[in-house]
Amino acid sequence: MKCRHCHHELEHVFLDLGHAPPSNAYLTASQLRAPETTFPLRLYVCDKCWLVQTEDYAAADELFSRDYAYFSSTSRSWLQHAERYVEKITQILKLNRDSFVIEVASNDGYLLKNFVAADIPCLGVEPTSSTADAAEKIGVPVLRKFFGEATATELAEGGGRADLICGNNVYAHVPDINDFTDGLRIALKQGGTINLEFPHLMNLIKLNQFDTVYHEHFSYLSLTAVVRIFARSGLRIFDLEELPTHGGSLRIYGCHESDPRKNQPVVMDMLEKEKAYGLRDLSIYKGFQRKADKVKDDFLEFLITQKRAGKSVAAYGAAAKGNTLMNYAGVKHDLVSFVCDAAVSKQGSYMPGNHLAILPPSELAKVKPDWVVIFPWNIAEEVVQQQQQQQLLASGSKFVIAVPELKVVP
């Protein structure tokens, strides 16, 4: 396999999680009786450009189908994050009715609806019909395509170059990161700004967030790698912010290479931080497997201990994180009885691989399990607050997360 960015031959394994189905390939009851497709879930690190990437197996059209079940609006905290961002960037860039905003991977309109409300022209680019339908229902215009050089050229030739191109948690999801980045350049006006948010590889390693690894994430990004990818496409990162979202993310500010805006010191500071942490040294990558294995072993030990003690265990959040953890640990419904999720699109389905039934959150109050494992640990506080309102804590149920280490919450 060659590096997806620099085409250097890959030989260094960062993490091997065995075989797993695509993490968002939720199953119907009838599909439980059919064979299930799995792919190797293995990451390599390129020792030339330092891009961490999945082994090539799954194609994008197999992972992002028309009935894709992830809807961004399910999380209240994520909606608030999007609203704050729109307010901030509108002021910074002085966006108005004469501006044009493109969001790549606009999902269900969770972010662009704020631009619509502010009467700022915008367009979402979203290939999955289920989420695009939801966006259009709330007045968000959507182009139903994958984004890349061809789509960007179509937009540019139609007069659709943007003052702002934003993309939250999409950059890691694209199989051809060079084509996608070329598309950003083509669709961006001179003087325009690119904002991309993505989980920071340094936090993945530092905080042992191995459950954020799944097939839909083709890349695991450091600023070191992204600066090189942008430069190849004639783009430059001139500013960035560190965000608490998804266990620690970066929001980068990009522009055309010729843009007069100067690079802010924070960009070089982060590059130096990554270098000091060891992100340009193979040793830090080669030691990560042991950290992931410890989380898996501790999680299994906890579940087996509860089973032997006669305690019941359920889960909250039919998230990709949970699928990665459960499938790598080999956990089935004999150790975790079911999982609840607030997304109506997932309820009544089954988790891929482990086949846990996905039920409404109200089921927790009915069953009152002794333990609830929160799979999306990044919103654990929000989940606990919701269940506190449902009196679940008062009934004696306890909450636990497995990543970055096994811990009772709050």
Number of domains in the chain: 2
The answer as to whether 37 is a domain residue is no
Q: Domain of 395: which CATH number?
A: 3.40.50.720
- Considering the domain architecture, whether residues 134 and 256 belong to the same structural domain is answered as yes
The answer as to whether 31 is a domain residue is no
Q: Range of 384's domain?
A: 290-409
Domain boundary among 285, 308, 332: 285
The answer as to whether 18 is a domain residue is no
Instruction: Specify the pTM.
Output: 0.90
- Considering the domain architecture, whether residues 368 and 398 belong to the same structural domain is answered as yes
- Considering the domain architecture, whether residues 88 and 218 belong to the same structural domain is answered as yes
Q: Per residue, what are the HEC states of 389-409?
A: HCCCHHHCCEEEECCCCCEEE
Give me the tens of pLDDT residue by residue for the chain, a chain 410 residues long: 999 999 999 999 999 999 999 888 899 999 999 999 888 999 999 999 999 999 976 555 555 554 554 677 777 888 999 999 999 999 999 999 999 999 999 999 999 999 999 999 999 999 989 899 999 999 999 999 999 999 999 999 998 899 999 999 999 999 999 999 999 999 999 999 999 999 999 999 999 999 999 988 999 999 999 999 999 999 999 999 999 988 899 999 999 999 999 999 999 999 999 999 999 999 999 999 999 999 999 999 999 999 999 999 999 999 889 999 999 999 999 999 999 998 898 999 999 999 999 999 999 989 999 999 999 998 898 888 887 767 787 788 999 999 999 999 97
